[in-house]
Homo-oligomer: A and B are copies of this chain.
Amino acid sequence: SIDPTRLTARLDELGQIGAIPGTIGCARLALTDDDKAGRDLVRTWMEELGLDISIDGIGNVIATMPGFDPSLAPVMTGSHIDTVATGGRYDGNLGVLAGLEVIETVLAAGIELERPLAVGWFTDEEGARFPPDMLGSLVYVGGLPLEDALEIEDRDGAVVGDELDRIGYRGAAPTPGRVPHAFVELHIEQGPILEDEDITIGVVEGVQGISWTELTITGQSCHAGTTPMRLRHDPGYVAAAITTFVRDLTRELGGSQVATVGRLDLTPNLVNVVPSVATMTIDLRNTDEATLQEAEARFRAFVEQTAEREGVSVDSRTLARFEPVEFDPRVIDIVEQAAERTGQSSRRLPSGAGHDAQMFARVCPTAMIFTPSVNGISHNVTEYTEPADLEAGANVLLDVMLTLTSM
């Protein structure tokens, strides 16, 4: 069994970096100084265990047990250590530190393995700074050329490649990276289902489809007091109409459909000036690809028709688009059996969030393990998972990884 005290102590120590005062949350947006500090800390822990560390061109860091025949592909686990701006200390971090804990436990116990274990963290999983989300793992599996990834800009014009150089994490290991024998990721659920049903382990069958769009809506700034309503071309109003439309759309489509306007900026953003420009993001998700496509089509039609009516122009950019992913049935079974073997209740469920594991599912047998989130809350400073659940999840991860070495 893993050491739960060591695991939570490391989660807490990492959570101090970028800590948000007065909360248990933290902010370590990808490739910022705080992200670098978090990376340095976790790398120290990996080095202390004597693992082989490789850093690739997009800043993914993989630590592998040494001393195996180099032809043997590792059983890999991993996740991310970047967070959103109102992040918790578990999202991503748990998967990385539990992976480290599993390897430390196996090394300490002197267990003989058919193939090495590896734990990695992947750059900019959140996508909150540089779209798309899961950027590092996408590049790792060959889903996006490194050159393209290095040129992605954040909203202030900072570029991925420059930021990697700045924090010293543009490595030499090639991408696409080495294909693992199998991949499994432990993550907090970030949603309410496990807690609602009082279940400890989520056996993740797949990830819903993700569609991110950024709209830049251009109208005409004018005077809030003197301009009759009929003469206005107000991009802020159009953004508001889109926001309420996608909310209504989730009700009409039902099922797993969710829609979020997380980002909205008005220019010049002054009380008595009708805005000239509104920039907004729309996040649409569904477990079913056909329904997600319907949501996208209806969204696009509404944008077009509203823009036409209001006399504004719209520039649309896809920030991320991933189809729903189904994990490998064999690995799903192994997770389910591991939960049973370690005495934990479990249920199968889809993931509402995107995860690095969904990228690995393109290249090797993959699945995920969820632990409950108190109040189903994540991307919020109050994000929390009970220590007993962290321990249960890490022990299931240990069991799954050992089983996968001989799959």
A residues apposed to B, CB below 8 Å: 84-86, 126-128, 131, 133, 189-192, 208, 210, 212, 214, 220-229, 231, 234, 236-237, 239-241, 243-244, 247, 250-251, 258-276, 281, 283, 285, 319, 351-354, 376-381
CB atoms of A226 and B378 under 8 A apart = yes
Residue from A243, A266, A376 with most neighbouring chain B CB atoms (10 Å): A243
Residues on B with C-beta less than 8 A from A222 are 376-380
Within the assembled complex, what's the spacing in Å between the Cα atoms of A239 and B212?
21
CB atoms of A210 and B226 under 8 A apart = no
With A222-B379, A229-B247, A258-B227 as given contacts, are A271 and B131 in contact (CB-CB < 8 Å)?
yes
Say how far A95's CB is from chain B's closest CB, in angstroms.
15
Output the nearest chain B residue to A208 by Cβ-Cβ distance. B225
Say how far A283's CB is from chain B's closest CB, in angstroms.
5
CB atoms of A225 and B273 under 8 A apart = no
Within the assembled complex, what's the spacing in Å between the Cα atoms of A268 and B378?
13
Within the assembled complex, what's the spacing in Å between the Cα atoms of A214 and B381?
26
With A236-B264, A240-B240 as given contacts, are A379 and B271 in contact (CB-CB < 8 Å)?
no
Identical subunits present:
2
Instruction: Offer 29 A-B interface pairs, CB within 8 angstroms, sorted by A.
Output: A84-B268, A85-B269, A85-B270, A86-B267, A127-B272, A128-B270, A133-B272, A190-B226, A192-B227, A192-B228, A214-B271, A220-B380, A223-B353, A223-B380, A224-B258, A224-B262, A226-B378, A227-B352, A228-B258, A229-B258, A236-B243, A237-B261, A240-B241, A240-B261, A262-B266, A262-B274, A264-B266, A265-B269, A272-B283
Residues on B with C-beta less than 8 A from A281 are 271
- 9 nearest A-B pairs in the assembled complex, by CB-CB distance: A226-B352, A240-B243, A191-B226, A224-B260, A85-B268, A240-B240, A271-B281, A190-B226, A225-B353
Say how far A242's CB is from chain B's closest CB, in angstroms.
8
Output the nearest chain B residue to A270 by Cβ-Cβ distance. B128
Cβ-neighbour of A283 out of B212, B225, B268, B275 (below 8 A): B225
Say how far A179's CB is from chain B's closest CB, in angstroms.
27
With A258-B225, A271-B281, A379-B273 as given contacts, are A244 and B247 in contact (CB-CB < 8 Å)?
no
CB atoms of A353 and B264 under 8 A apart = no
Cβ-neighbour of A236 out of B223, B262, B379 (below 8 A): B262
Within the assembled complex, what's the spacing in Å between the Cα atoms of A274 and B241?
17
Given contacts A190-B226, A210-B225, A271-B319, 14 further A-B contacts (CB under 8 A): A84-B272, A85-B270, A127-B272, A133-B272, A192-B231, A212-B272, A220-B380, A221-B380, A222-B376, A222-B378, A222-B379, A229-B247, A240-B240, A270-B379
Within the assembled complex, what's the spacing in Å between the Cα atoms of A222 and B228?
38
